[in-house]
């Protein structure tokens, strides 16, 4: 089996922890604790979410994403970036979900790097705006950049998102997508940021290895359910041991997402064994973290390998955006 790249650093910032270690351990301990916000839905009921208490509730939009992401970027690159010059950054970011939502702007990566004190190689960096599946696309681009002639020893791949914004919550409430009494198809909004540093064999001691990554797009005419999701999952699973020992889907409480994931598992019976494939749903303990989903799953799996609580030596992560983008990737213990 060919390893596509090595993970040499990891960082994570979530409502459950200040760093990757704390976030991963609290996630494992099942400590979900949604809190009430200052926002109300159309019926006048208080909207709840899962949010970082270290960030002021009044902070929203671009500044909130910076405050979420900067500490995680510092953690991931600690001991790696300073001595090796500017590092290319491939970052999964959320699309604008409401007209009132503040645009992130073309200088977001530059601002994030400066706030974190990390030298970001801006001409070689890229923001990927595909929602949940964005991290898989960012990971593929990061691996390609690492393998390119003349590339440096490391690249950074990550994701950040937050639903804690009045405009975002109002848009979700209008579509009846927030988990609440009387909303039978909603999810719990959350926020997070996470990063992994990809390196070549001789760059740094590995935390994990990237086994495979795949991306695809569903047809948008409604005639198919999960065809691309099935394809990308099967492509990645084909590079792993069979059956897949550990799978982490990014499904939340929305019926159409649960239905699609069920189809993926049924169609891939040769890859997923009901008795042997362990399934972990981080949403149940963290809520929906949107465009940060893939990065959080990657950071969690890396910490599980590092700290010794991974239920298997390989993990498959599947990602499904609200739009047609789909992705999957696999990580293995070093």
- Tell me, what's the pLDDT at 82? 46
Q: What is the DSSP string of 216-259?
A: EE--SSSS-SSHHHHHHHHHHHTTS-SS-SEEEE---S-HHHHH
- Tell me, what's the pLDDT at 224? 73
DSSP state for residue 44 in the 8-state scheme: S
Angle of helix 61-77 versus helix 20-28 axis, rounded to 10 = 100
Give the C-alpha distances (Å, rounded to integers) separating 167 from 50, 61, 190, 216, 275. 16, 9, 15, 30, 43
- Tell me, what's the pLDDT at 1? 37
- pTM of the predicted structure, to 2 decimals: 0.94
For the chain of 334 residues, list the mean pLDDT of each consecutive stretch of 10.
78 96 92 70 76 94 97 92 76 92 93 96 95 98 94 94 92 84 79 95 83 94 84 96 95 91 89 93 94 98 97 98 96 96
- Tell me, what's the pLDDT at 48? 77
- Tell me, what's the pLDDT at 30? 78
């Amino acid at each position: 089996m060919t390893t596509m790249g090595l993970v040499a650093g990891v960082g994570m910032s979530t409502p459950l922890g200040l760093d990757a270690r704390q976030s991963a351990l609290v996630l494992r301990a099942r400590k979900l604790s949604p809190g009430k916000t200052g926002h109300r839905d159309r019926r006048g009921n208080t909207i709840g979410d899962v949010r970082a208490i270290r960030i002021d509730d009044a902070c929203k939009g671009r500044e909130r994403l910076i405050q979420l992401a900067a500490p995680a970027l510092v953690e991931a690159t600690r001991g790696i970036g300073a001595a090796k010059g500017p590092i290319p950054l491939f970052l999964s970011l959320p699309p604008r979900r409401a007209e009132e939502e503040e645009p992130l702007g073309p200088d977001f990566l530059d601002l994030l790097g400066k706030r974190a004190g990390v030298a970001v190689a801006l001409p070689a960096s890229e923001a990927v705006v595909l929602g949940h599946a964005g991290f898989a696309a960012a990971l593929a681009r990061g691996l390609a950049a690492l393998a390119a002639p003349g590339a440096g020893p490391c690249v950074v791949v990550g994701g950040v998102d937050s639903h804690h914004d009045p405009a975002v919550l109002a848009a979700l409430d209008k579509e009846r997508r927030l988990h609440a009494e009387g909303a039978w198809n909603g999810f719990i909004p959350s926020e997070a940021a996470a990063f992994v540093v990809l390196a070549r064999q001789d760059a740094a001691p590995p935390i994990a290895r990237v086994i495979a990554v795949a991306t695809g797009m569903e047809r948008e005419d409604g005639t198919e359910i999960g065809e691309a999701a099935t394809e990308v999952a099967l492509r990645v699973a084909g590079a792993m041991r069979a059956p897949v020992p550990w799978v982490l889907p990014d499904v939340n409480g929305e019926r159409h997402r649960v239905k699609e994931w069920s189809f993926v598992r049924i169609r891939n019976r040769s890859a997923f064994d009901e008795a042997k494939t362990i399934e972990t749903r981080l949403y149940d303990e963290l809520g929906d973290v949107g465009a940060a989903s893939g990065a959080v799953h990657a950071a969690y799996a890396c910490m599980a390998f590092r700290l010794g609580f991974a239920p298997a030596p390989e993990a498959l992560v599947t990602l499904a955006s609200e739009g047609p983008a789909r992705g999957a990737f696999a990580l293995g213990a070093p």
